[in-house]
Structure 1
Amino acid sequence: MPKLLVLGLCAGYFLVLLDVTVVNVALPQINADLQAGQSGMAGVINAYTFVLAALLLAFGAIGDRWGHRRIVVFGFLCFFLGSLACSLSPTIEVLVASRALQGVGAAATMTGTLAMLSESAADDRERNKLVGLWAALGGVALPVGPLLGGLLVELGNWRAAFWLNLPVILVALVPIIVYSSPAWAARLGSGGLARGAGRVESSGSSRMRLLTACIVAGLMNFCVLGSLFLLTQFFQGDRGLSPFQAGLATLPALLPLPFVAALSGTVSNRLGVWRTSAMGLIVAGMGLGLMGLTVSGSGLWGLWIALVVWAIGVGILTPAIVTAAMHALPQRPGFASGAGSTARNLGGAVGVTVFAVLAGMDTGALMAGAGVMMLIAAFICLDMSRRARESQLVPVR
């Protein structure tokens, strides 16, 4: 698969995650400029995330029927128009509506790019590596988003956070359109799907594998985003850090993600996606346990070490569990991508809500509890690995 096409597809996921985080630092200026109020600022965030979560599964199924390249191009165009409209919005109402259009583009882009990578892979080993790269480059947006957004807002204004998307989209679209010719589409669409269909024992077995992957992925984001929410509240409330300082303090939890995720595909090729997922869950669970022990300490070094351990586990886990979902239904990569993405978004939203309600409790105990949940999920993945080896339907190596 051409490297430029891979980078173009990965850029789509990068943009989806970037626009989750980059806008947060612009909210104070948006509020001051457009008199948004609390409800308006919440609308700027929710219009994007709710539309994104609501349409993931639908765009995945549509892509399976109409072709994922069309969905990806449509998604990029919606993202471009939505970003342009956001940057020019004269009122908070227009901005919220424009963010919803961004969410439409994000949903189409997120499911379509992953499905294109999956269905075009020559074999499972290449698929594991491509998904690892997709997750790694997308993960760069997590630490970069708040810092880059803060810099753009300080140098310009809140509108600059949306202008950032436009050149990235235009550059990413070029290889996607170039490699969407009928000849290239036929080359991409033939091999991977036919091979994948032969690995499926029955529709019931495939749905159970996909359901398990979605449950683990949802639990992952439940713990990850819920813990990050607690952590930022802890840094600002208990430690008295400013928002920017709190963002810097959480970098140890974000910086390792793209580097480890890039290696996850190689590990999956050796151990299989389920055992790799279990490894990531165990390491992440240990990191959360260490966070529970060190969060109440006087210094931050112990907590930062725990954050690095946790991030390494999450970096191993994310591409592996995403690939597990794609392996479950290789003949319907769009639906599998949409189901997994929906589970992750729903799990993250529920996690933030639950941890916000429990925020008055002991932070260390909540972190440790999340770690126990991830260890339980690791046993589920190990059982799935055992079942896969016994049935010899999903390759272990």
Structure 2
Amino acid sequence: MIAIGVIYGSRRAPGAAGRSRLVGAWAAIGGAALPAGPVIGGLLVQAAGWRGVFWLGVPVIALALLPVIRLPRPSARRRPEGSVDRAGAGLLVAALTCGVTAIIQAPASPPPAGLLAVAAGCALLALLVVERRVAHPLLAVPRGARLPLGLACLVAGLMNLYSLGGLFLLTQILQDVHRLDPLSAGLLTLPAMLPLPLLGAPAGRLSTRIGAWRTSALGLTVAAAGLAGVAATVTGPVTGHLALALFLALRGTGLGLLTPAIVSAALATTPGSPGLASGASNTSRQTGGALGIALFATIAGRADAPGFLPHAIGLFAGPATLLALTGLFCLGIARNPRIRLA
């Protein structure tokens, strides 16, 4: 969706300013669905159990496929037959699947988890070999754009690793420690979601004014402050939920600034190939989210285990520090003209 928006919008609003506005609009539209997630999910879990959340995806995906199937295929831009790197894509999926499963299974089944970890490593090595030999690799990135695009994808992946892993852990604490029902827990997480659609367009304008990397640094710093506050209040009494909601809103504000900015930074690295940069950025974010949920769940352990709460607090406080350090890292990139392209 990012690539389509940029390709279409580049005819109307060329340059970095137009790109930032388009990404800001994308973030606002895409983020509009996020506040509905906790509420709908809470209702489904409360009424039909956790399996109901997955059944909801079936009609949603079916409806989304209809307009995609009807999209015309521009034959003039179609790549030659056989140019799709199916082997590379399959190896990437295999590596991620085996890696995430290994993390989840490690506490209960160490030997199978070890084998899966080895399989993930082998798949990654095979991917590197394949990508060097195929005519059309998954990421045919120009040499000068490799470092800035790689850094933008790294920050995007870390963003989702911290945010989605923490959100998973937060809902577990609210339901299993504070004994809130699924709907109440979902409503309490709303402050973390509401800023994202509201800040899409302002974040795009701010990226145009001060640069995508500086905006990313600002968003990371704000998110770090919010996450530190969450660490201090998440295990407190029920009467402290107002403070928790305020810190969740601060965390959401930081992520609302960061998301459009870091995507703009990625797109700026390859202005002639927006689909390449958007695909790399999106893959990095989704990979970070999958790894984050697996890591946070595995490290925290079961909610009824004696060490769950100390581990949970550490998993909020530690990433808060890492987010702040990542913000300093982005600020350093913004001051380095050899790396910064946005």
TM-score relative to the length of structure 1: 0.59
Aligned equivalent of 1:140: 32
Change (3 A) 1:168 1:392: closer
Change (3 A) 1:260 1:317: same
Residue identity in the other structure for 2:311:
D
Shift in Å, 1:358: 1.6
Runs of 5+ consecutive residues of structure 1 not aligned to the other structure: 1-109, 183-201
- Deviation per residue, 1:1-36 (Å, 9 max, x gap): xxxxxxxxxxxxxxxxxxxxxxxxxxxxxxxxxxxx
Aligned equivalent of 1:116: 7
The structure where helix makes up a greater share of residues is: 1
Shift in Å, 1:289: 0.6
- Deviation per residue, 1:309-329 (Å, 9 max, x gap): 000000000000001000011
The 2-side partners of 1:237 and 1:393 are apart by 45
- Deviation per residue, 1:337-388 (Å, 9 max, x gap): 1111111111111111110112134322221111111111111111111113
Residue identity in the other structure for 2:184:
Q
**Is 1:264 the counterpart of 2:203 in the alignment?**
yes
The 2-side partners of 1:355 and 1:379 are apart by 24
The 1-side partners of 2:31 and 2:161 are apart by 17
Runs of 5+ consecutive residues of structure 2 not aligned to the other structure: 77-140, 301-307
Aligned equivalent of 2:327: 378
The 2-side partners of 1:161 and 1:150 are apart by 15
**Is 1:346 the counterpart of 2:300 in the alignment?**
no
Aligned equivalent of 2:93: none
Shift in Å, 1:166: 6.3
Aligned equivalent of 1:307: 248
Aligned equivalent of 2:123: none
- In 1, are the aligned partners of 2:24 and 2:201 still within 8 Å (CA)? yes
Change (3 A) 1:162 1:171: same
- In 2, are the aligned partners of 1:117 and 1:131 still within 8 Å (CA)? no
TM-score relative to the length of structure 2: 0.68
Residue identity in the other structure for 1:252:
P
The 1-side partners of 2:159 and 2:339 are apart by 27
Match of 2:278 among 318, 330, 337: 337
Q: Secondary structure at the match of 1:358?
A: helix
Q: Percent identity?
A: 42
Which runs of structure 2 are paired with 1:220-299 in the superposition (5 Å)? Answer: 220-298=159-237, 299=240
Residue identity in the other structure for 1:376:
L
Aligned equivalent of 1:394: 341
Residue identity in the other structure for 2:287:
L
Residue identity in the other structure for 1:358:
I
Shift in Å, 1:287: 0.5
Shift in Å, 1:136: 1.3
CA RMSD of aligned residues (A): 3.1
Shift in Å, 1:303: 0.5
- In 1, are the aligned partners of 2:268 and 2:341 still within 8 Å (CA)? yes
Equivalent residues, number: 262
User: Bigger shift: 365-374 or 158-167?
Assistant: 158-167
**Is 1:362 the counterpart of 2:311 in the alignment?**
yes
Shift in Å, 1:169: 6.8
Shift in Å, 1:181: 12
Which runs of structure 2 are paired with 1:16-165 in the superposition (5 Å)? Answer: 110=1, 112-117=3-8, 119-120=10-11, 121-148=13-40, 162-163=58-59
The 1-side partners of 2:56 and 2:143 are apart by 49
The 1-side partners of 2:60 and 2:270 are apart by 35
The 2-side partners of 1:358 and 1:234 are apart by 14
Residue identity in the other structure for 1:337:
S
Instruction: Compare relative contact order (CA 8 Å, sep 6+) and give the higher one, 1 or 2.
Output: 2
